[in-house]
Amino acid sequence: MIGPETKTEKNVKQAVPFFGVTDMQASLRFYQDGLGFTMKYQWIDEGKLRWCWLELGDAALMLQEFRKGSGELYMSGAEGKLGTGVSICFMCEDAIAIFREVTARGIEARRPFVGNRLWVTGVVDPDGYKLFFESPTDAPEESVWNE
């Protein structure tokens, strides 16, 4: 039981998605070169990058490559298709700007549309994780952005 002097809502600071990936180098090309994330922390084991913390603006995520038969508590092997049912929504100032930037870098992104009073664009990473970039708008629901 939490005592009266502890405030859980003030204690929790950030949620950081932790994705298991099948090919760290392919994931880094996607996240860094394609989406513009920067690496803040990394774990190199036996000369190989095993885990990293990436940031884009105030958002972050972690990647760790699966190692078959490693017996590690985390990321010891994938059951089924990675990314199934996993979606992350990044709230932005301008989702359309994100769409322009990532498509200019060669990333396939969904044409922005309005849903729930938000411009929404989305991408899918090499392992099937879905990332949505959203920003508030007054445009009518179901509008589709045209340049």
List the CATH number of the domain containing 88: 3.10.180.10
d(CA 135, CA 4): 37
pLDDT given at position 73? 44
> Does any domain span residue 73?
no
Instruction: Report the pLDDT averaged over residues 30-48.
Output: 96
Number of domains in the chain: 1
Instruction: Report the pLDDT averaged over residues 73-85.
Output: 65
Enclosing H/E stretch for 24: helix 24-28
| Six-digit token string for 129 | 């994780």
Sequence-ordered list of residues with C-beta below 8 angstroms from that of 6, at least 6 positions apart, any chain: none
Instruction: Decide: 83 and 125 in contact? Cβ < 8 Å.
Output: yes
> Does any domain span residue 5?
no
Q: What are phi and psi of 47, to 5 degrees?
A: 80, 5
Using alpha carbons, list the distances in angstroms from residue 98 to 28, 29, 70, 89, 138.
18, 17, 37, 13, 18
> Does any domain span residue 78?
no
pLDDT given at position 5? 56
Q: Is the pLDDT of residue 134 over 60?
A: yes
Domain span holding position 116? 15-67+84-136
pLDDT given at position 2? 54
d(CA 13, CA 128): 27
> Does any domain span residue 79?
no
> Does any domain span residue 59?
yes
Buried b (16+ CB within 10 A) or exposed e, 30-56: bbeebbebeeeeeeeeeeebbbbbbeb
